[in-house]
Amino acid sequence: MVDDRQRHRGERRTRPASGNWSGPGRARPAQPQSGPRRDAQADRAPQDGPPIPPGVEAKQLAPDVRRELSTLDRATADAVARHLVAAGELLDEDPEAALRHARAARARSSRIATIREAVGIAAYHCGDWSQALAEFRAARRMGSKSALLPLIADCERGLGRPERAIELARGPEAAELSGDDADELRIVAAGARADLGQLEQALTVLSTPQLDPSRTGSTAARLFYAYADTLLALDRTDDALQWFLRSAAADVDGVTDAEDRVSELG
């Protein structure tokens, strides 16, 4: 499922609205495999999910996430951890494969928030807003400590319910967000306004509080990009160009195509 949200947020690929999530996103890069795995044959069994990529080990999962798996027996925890690591490694290049690994982890234990969140993230990357929304809600019920509201609101947008996204952005939970999490929700809420043709309101959402052009980082880059894109939709081309330039300057991780937009407008 594809819509215009990726363009509005300036991303080269679909990403979670918030980088603060547990699960595969925290997995360290795969290290060379040091020896044969005892359960390699089990990994290849169809009923156990997709094969684990070479070099993926349970210890690559972040310690806090591994602790959440401590209620599982050792073999199950090891399999779940490696599927989560694999999902994280594949998320950008092959989100469908990442989703298969996340589902394999869920098949072994569906009552751990981190696992449900991982499935939600992978489904989100695949554009499966309905499944992502269900998984994020399940993760919250299970006590997830991640700021999932921006993701949930963005899923509502993807499902064609921008009014619901706006409602969530106005709620008491939204008021508790701060920093990048609050900015991610601003981007989603502005996108929902744009979905409804309310461009001036979208601009107000993005500029309240006032934007700080000296900021850097992925969230700042996307925030500036969304502001520039909205200005452009309002035929304020010169202003849009300035904010695309600021987005490009803030984009130290290369998550947007702001430089391309500058070239287009220049």
Q: Read off the pLDDT of residues 102-123 as tens digits, 9 standing for 90 and up.
A: 999 999 999 999 999 999 999 9
Is 256 strand, coil or helix?
strand
Lookup: tokens for 212: 């700080």
- Asked if residue 41 has pLDDT above 60, the reply is no
Question: Which residues are registered as beta bridge partners of 241?
Answer: none
Domains identified in the chain and CATH numbers? 21-145 (1.25.40.10)
When mean pLDDT is compared across 43-52, 78-87, 111-120, 152-161, the lowest value belongs to 43-52
Mean pLDDT value across the chain: 86
Specify the higher pLDDT residue, 83 or 37.
83
Specify the higher pLDDT residue, 30 or 202.
202
Judge if pTM exceeds 0.95: no
The pLDDT assigned to 16 comes to: 37
**pLDDT average, residue stretch 59-75:** 96
Q: Do residues 136 and 151 touch, judged by C-beta distance below 8 A? A: yes
Angle (CA) 150 184 263, round 5°:
135
When mean pLDDT is compared across 2-6, 75-79, 184-188, the lowest value belongs to 2-6
